[in-house]
Amino acid sequence: MKFLLSILVLLLITNAAEAKVRTKTIEYRHGNTLLQGYLAWDDGVKGKRPGVLVVHEWWGHNAYVRHRAEQLAKLGYIAFALDMYGKGVLATTPEEAGKLAVQFKNDRPLGRARAQAGLDVLLQQKLTDPARVAAIGYCFGGTTVLEMARGGELPRWVGHPPSRPARRHQGEGPRPPRG
């Protein structure tokens, strides 16, 4: 019996050691804009799992947002770090970042549609449980997530912190869910 228990423990340890976070770069489009996102999942988790859309800061899709997706994958989620600006577009100064971000501040439907393109990529993954999907974002990304919630695209969301305060709901369109 001890021998069988030892073998079972050894098999469990071996399987746990083989499970690791996998990542994949995914190119996708929104209109004429080529975007490049980053998918992360733990291959040790079996079956469908909750999905998290990760929206970058105003700097653009960089190593930080990819690392956040990997951290979520380690927790058992499938995470997709979307790209709001376009493949390879990164700001290097606050002035550049402001110019990139302001297009979505001035055209909120464009921002929601661009983020929806990323959400669609996450929802198309065979490992994503579409009934358990949420989004998180950092600063500019938090505002993007808030705009998605306002538009009714997201049942669950976290903005950390949104870069502008939420306006009170005035009755037009769907009421945003409480964070």
What are the tens digits of pLDDT across the range 112-167?
999 999 999 999 999 999 999 999 998 999 999 988 988 877 766 665 555 554 44
Q: What is the pTM of this model?
A: 0.79
> Any idea where the domains of the chain sit in the sequence?
20-160
What are the tens digits of pLDDT across the range 29-68?
999 999 999 999 999 999 999 999 999 999 999 999 999 9
127 C-beta neighbours (distance < 10 Å), count: 18
Task: Quote the CA–CA distance of 155 and 98 in Å, as a whole number.
Answer: 29
Helix (H, G, I), strand (E, B) or coil at 24: strand
Domain 20-160 annotated CATH 3.30.930.10 = no
- State the DSSP string of 97-162: HHHHHHHHHH-HHHHHHHHHHHHHHHHTSTTEEEEEEEEEEETHHHHHHHHHHHTT--SSEEEES-
